[in-house]
Amino acid sequence: MAGAAGDKATVTQRADRVDVLVKSLPELDWCANPAEIKRKSLDYYWFSPVLRRELEAKSADAVVRPRNIDELRRIVAGCVGENLPVTLRGGGTGNYGQAIPLDGGVVIEMTACDRLLWLKHGVARAQAGIKLGALGELLAPQGWELRCMPSTYRMATLGGLFCGGFGGIGSITYGPLSAPGTVLGIQVMTVEAEPRVIELRSPEAMQHAHTYGTNGIILELEIALAPVHEWDEHFITFDDADAAFNVAQAVAQAPGLIKRETALFAPSVAKYFKKLAPHREAAEHAAIVVLAASNRETLEALVNQAGGRIAFRQSSEEARTRQHSLLEYCWNHTTLHALRSDKSLTYLQTTYEYGREREQLAAIARQTGDEVLPHLEFIRDEQGRVVCSGLPLVRYTTEKRLRELITLHRECGVGVKDPHVYTLEDGTRHGAMSPASLAAKRRFDPGGLLNPGKVRSWVTSKES
Ligand SMILES: Cc1cc2nc3c(=O)[nH]c(=O)nc-3n(C[C@H](O)[C@H](O)[C@H](O)COP(=O)(O)OP(=O)(O)OC[C@H]3O[C@@H](n4cnc5c(N)ncnc54)[C@H](O)[C@@H]3O)c2cc1C
């Protein structure tokens, strides 16, 4: 299907089939506005100048928002009947064109399937279209919160996080969403003439994680939660890069500190935080640390000892009232703030080797000067080690130079997950889909209608 996608006759035939589908299901909530169809065909792919060039012209032929699972079932059956590509959409905040249909067809927006189904003993079950911020609001009064969430929590959905994301806020304590014990089970719909609904428990359920909605439609997720805390959000500044790193790493590693976020920004990155500018001198390094309020004095002692200062602090309650959380400066929100000021910037996704972080950062700085601007995020990896990852900003010149910078990082021993590609295989460190994930795709999407073009090995796998 992907090969003939651009062909004029194919596009016309496909548009005709979409027309038939829309007319056969008039009671559904189809998007009627062409500008809205275009908007809901795109995500935050434009963070990458390479993806911007490759994907900006893409669009679905139709967008529909099912109000319940029965409506979803009818749409899916209709798409299978008309042999139409189907791309799922949550909040549309993905960065790698994950929710962008390469071959047109139908975008199914899941945000109306957004119920919290139950919550007991620190475990919740919710529909995939629920927004993470809204879910957090429902959990907090019961004493629980999400173990990890992206900085886009206000817009992003639970299903979108599972299928396209990684984690972020909270991963410093609980690791990524894929850490065993967090996602306990999922309910998935098959893409067949008569769609089936299948319950999967972990670890089998995890074959569907981070697969860009290519191997089934996630309807529900059952997730383990974290106890909610009264959080303090700190903006901390330092004259000295080593002192800043030492404090951030000490906080990240300290087992007695209850934490949700630890990030570090070079002055060349922190300067893009316009609202925080009154709290920072131009040459200062900055850290954002979100800790339980009970750890306030311990943090103050650590910062004072290192010669830093807590430039700004607010409670999570104040952040909510002010609608201004420091969490929305972390992870890829850092890149967003920078891009608002300078459109020539882009970014990489890096992981530094434990114990060699500063050596690696220095080696890269020596070879790139101010072409790569450090932004670090501390996380606990799936093995429980507290490691240093990064979303450094990059001054973009050419695609060739971007590839050279990725190679240079790898030569320095730094892991890079390439955010300038849209296929699943190219975006992973291993460059391949696992056989189990491919088997799951065959079972849940035998016709290959889901998000076609995102799994490179699918064509090969069908032919073999
Ligand atoms: C400013 C910014 C900051 C970000 N920070 C982070 C971060 O801290 N951590 C992080 O992990 N990511 C981050 N991201 C990326 C993104 O926000 C997250 O991955 C988010 O969880 C995606 O959720 P979504 O609902 O927007 O998914 P979408 O973008 O709508 O979809 C993501 C993928 O999941 C598929 N999908 C969605 N719902 C379903 C479903 N029900 N069934 C099957 N497939 C489905 C889509 O087809 C697509 O392939 C950031 C992005 C931006 C722009």
pLDDT per position as a tens digit, 397-444: 999 999 999 999 999 999 999 999 999 988 876 677 888 888 999 999
Confidence of residue 204 (pLDDT cuts 50, 70, 90): very high
More confident residue, 9 or 79: 79
Say whether pLDDT at 462 is over 60: no
Q: Check if 101 has its Cβ closer than 6 Å to any atom of ligand 1.
A: no
Q: What is the pLDDT of residues 150-196, one digit of tens each?
A: 999 999 999 999 999 999 999 999 999 999 999 999 999 999 999 99
Q: What is the pLDDT of residues 297-334, one digit of tens each?
A: 999 999 999 999 999 999 999 999 999 999 999 999 99
Q: Check if 209 has its Cβ closer than 6 Å to any atom of ligand 1.
A: no
Q: Are 221 and 158 in contact (CB under 8 A)?
A: yes
Q: What is the pLDDT of residues 169-181, one digit of tens each?
A: 999 999 999 999 9
Percent of the chain with pLDDT over 90: 91
Q: Check if 97 has its Cβ closer than 6 Å to any atom of ligand 1.
A: no
Q: Check if 215 has its Cβ closer than 6 Å to any atom of ligand 1.
A: no
Q: Check if 87 has its Cβ closer than 6 Å to any atom of ligand 1.
A: yes
pLDDT of residue 464: 43
* Averaged pLDDT of the chain: 95
- The residue nearest atom 7 of ligand 1, judged by CA position, is 150
Q: What is the pLDDT of residues 230-254, one digit of tens each?
A: 999 999 999 999 999 999 999 999 9
Q: What is the pLDDT of residues 65-109, one digit of tens each?
A: 999 999 999 999 999 999 999 999 999 999 999 999 999 999 999
pLDDT of residue 6: 61
Dihedral of CA atoms 22, 24, 26, 28 in degrees, nearest 10, equals -70
Ligand 1 geometric centre to CA of 99 (Å): 8
Taking the CA of residue 167 as reference, the ligand 1 atom at the shortest distance is 11
Ligand 1 geometric centre to CA of 163 (Å): 7
Say whether pLDDT at 3 is over 50: no
- The residue nearest atom 33 of ligand 1, judged by CA position, is 164
pLDDT of residue 337: 98
Angstrom distances, CA of residue 404 to CA of 3, 95, 371, 377, 410: 30, 21, 12, 23, 10
Ligand 1 geometric centre to CA of 261 (Å): 19
Q: Are 284 and 221 in contact (CB under 8 A)?
A: no
Ligand 1 geometric centre to CA of 239 (Å): 36
Q: What is the mean pLDDT of residues 124-138?
A: 98
pLDDT of residue 456: 87
The Cβ-side half-sphere exposure at 458, using a 13 Å CA radius, reads: 25
Residue 55: strand pairing partners: none
Looking at this protein, which amino acid is placed at residue 359? E
Most ligand 1 atoms within 8 A of CB, residue of 148, 327, 332, 333 to mutate: 332
Q: What is the mean pLDDT of residues 49-68?
A: 97
Report the predicted TM-score, pTM, of the whole model to 2 decimal places.
0.95
> Cα(88)–Cα(106) distance, rounded to whole angstroms?
9
